[in-house]
Amino acid sequence: MHHYFTVPLTLFLLIAVQFSGHAQQNESEKDAFFIRSIYDEALLRGQAYDWLEYLCTDIGPRLSGSPNAAAAVEYVKQVLDTMGMDTVYLQPCLVPHWDRGEAEQVRIVNSEKMGTVELKGLSLGNSLGTGSMGITAEVIEVQSLKEVDDLGPAQIAGKIVFYNRPLDKTKLNTFSAYGGAVDQRGLGAAQAAKHGAVAVLVRSMTTRDDDVPHTGSLIYQEGVEPIPAIAISTNDANLLSRLSKEEVVKVFMRNTSRMLSPKISYNVVGEITGSKYPDEILLVGGHLDSWDVGQGAHDDGAGCVQAMDVVHVLRSLNYRPQRTLRCVLFMNEENGQGGALAYRDSSFANNEYHLGAIESDRGGFTPRGFTCDADNSVFEGKFKKMAPWIDLLSPYGLEFKKGGSGADISRLKPQKGMLFGFEPDSQRYFDYHHTPIDTFDAVNERELELGSAAMTSLIFLLDKYGLE
């Protein structure tokens, strides 16, 4: 346990000049200077990109319960252990263990116009399998959950329901487009099963027209038979839709996905105890698990290594936090949030107060700012308190706005601190989200590092000024 880090020489000289030449220098200039040094450190000597390369290319995809997820837990614990924090520990949590099984098959069978057509599909996460012989049935296209209710068993029973409502491309923020369509993926199978459907196909949740299927979790409903669900690429969804307007289309689908027994896994937590206000916790975090395809680079390797780099950058600048700084790499955000639940339970059991928490889970793209969320009773007061910080952050293209924080930290809201969602440029995110192409090379080093710097800067301000 040591906090006596060396100060880089140039920084030392600058600080010396600062204090000798400007005895009257105000706090805002000092803050601007420190934030500038945060950016310099992240851009010149940040570690996020190297750590991400290891997570993505040496370890690979990290689905909860998998050996890779365990390897990722071990790796980031080792990295945090090198940082001279006061404590680094594993926080146990129970996670589902889903297995995709063999490569999915989705095939239009004996179309009059097109013969046999293979479609690119990926089982939705948590989906059960079709049985080893697969399922062949007539396809019925719908645009919404409600339409399934409207059609009812007479139209739905025995069929494969094909959810095909696209993301709205005119939304400037692609997360809004995603939010407007994702009910089909999450709830579509249960809804269709209620009316006797035998399986579900879902248009992939992306703003692109391409050949890449996107997985992601579904939720079955108690008392409703679980039926298999596979996402198909948007190009294939367009093809299937066109064809099914011209003729009765039958599809063969086969997957061997299954849910195994839950497993014990871990959140990885590193902590520096606050020198002055140890009971006021500042959290930075991302989630360590990913889907089992691709490398989980943007989702959410990027968020993990950025959160870790917050600690690294502050350490390199010899910054000793007044408040307790906690870096949390959550397990199982994707399909159960076992890690978030364990963290919440522990935090409330210990009567903790998270003054501020930042989650990075929207990709490693150029930073735009932070969405801010808090209990209604405290939001306005805390939000106003941050207003003067804008002058310090806007030179880096950052802004604060009202909005949700993130799946792993939002349950801390009753503690009445401020919850932040780190917000990067959203245009490319759903090109990669939950796909085989969410790989290391899709992340740009500078963009990633600017995110580390943005998060570090906000942590610095929260630590220095608090929110009371």
Contact footprint for a copy of itself (CB under 8 A)? 39-40, 43-44, 169-170, 172, 174, 207-208, 366, 368, 395-397, 425, 427-428, 431, 444-447, 450
Angle at 303 between CA 394 and CA 308, to 5 degrees: 90
Of 417 and 451, the one with the shorter C-beta distance to a copy of itself is 451
Minimum CB separation of residue 171 from a copy of itself in Å reads 9
Minimum CB separation of residue 209 from a copy of itself in Å reads 8
Q: CA 170 to CA 133: how far, in whole Å? A: 41
Of 447 and 463, the one with the shorter C-beta distance to a copy of itself is 447
Minimum CB separation of residue 42 from a copy of itself in Å reads 9
Minimum CB separation of residue 269 from a copy of itself in Å reads 31
The answer to whether the beta carbons of residues 107 and 117 sit under 8 Å apart is yes
Sign of CA dihedral 386, 43, 434, 99: negative
Q: Phi-psi category of 101—alpha, beta or left, where left has phi over 0 and alpha has psi -120 to 50?
A: left
Q: CA 309 to CA 289: how far, in whole Å? A: 18
Of 238 and 366, the one with the shorter C-beta distance to a copy of itself is 366
CA atoms within 13 A on the CB side of 152: 2
Tally of CB atoms within 10 A around 83: 16
Q: CA 238 to CA 245: how far, in whole Å? A: 11
Q: How many helices (H) and strands (E) does the chain have?
A: 14, 16
Of 359 and 431, the one with the shorter C-beta distance to a copy of itself is 431
Of 113 and 401, the one with the shorter C-beta distance to a copy of itself is 401
Of 76 and 453, the one with the shorter C-beta distance to a copy of itself is 453
Of 357 and 443, the one with the shorter C-beta distance to a copy of itself is 443
Of 225 and 445, the one with the shorter C-beta distance to a copy of itself is 445
Minimum CB separation of residue 5 from a copy of itself in Å reads 21
Minimum CB separation of residue 53 from a copy of itself in Å reads 13
Catalytic residue among 333, 352, 447, 449: 333
Minimum CB separation of residue 35 from a copy of itself in Å reads 12
Tally of CB atoms within 10 A around 17: 10
Q: CA 225 to CA 313: how far, in whole Å? A: 51
Give me the phi and psi of 192, to 5 degrees please: -70, -40
SS3 (DSSP) at 153: helix
Q: CA 381 to CA 418: how far, in whole Å? A: 10
Catalytic-residue membership of 334? no
Q: From residue 430, how far is each of 174, 175, 185, 213, 239 by CA, in Å? A: 7, 8, 14, 11, 21
How many residues belong to the chain? 468
The answer to whether the beta carbons of residues 123 and 228 sit under 8 Å apart is yes
**Which contacts (CB < 8 Å, 24+ apart) does range 154-160 have?**
156/192, 156/195, 156/196, 156/197, 157/195, 157/196, 157/197, 158/196, 158/197, 158/198, 159/197, 159/198, 160/135, 160/197, 160/198, 160/199, 160/200, 160/201, 160/251, 160/253
Minimum CB separation of residue 146 from a copy of itself in Å reads 22
Name the residues annotated as catalytic.
333
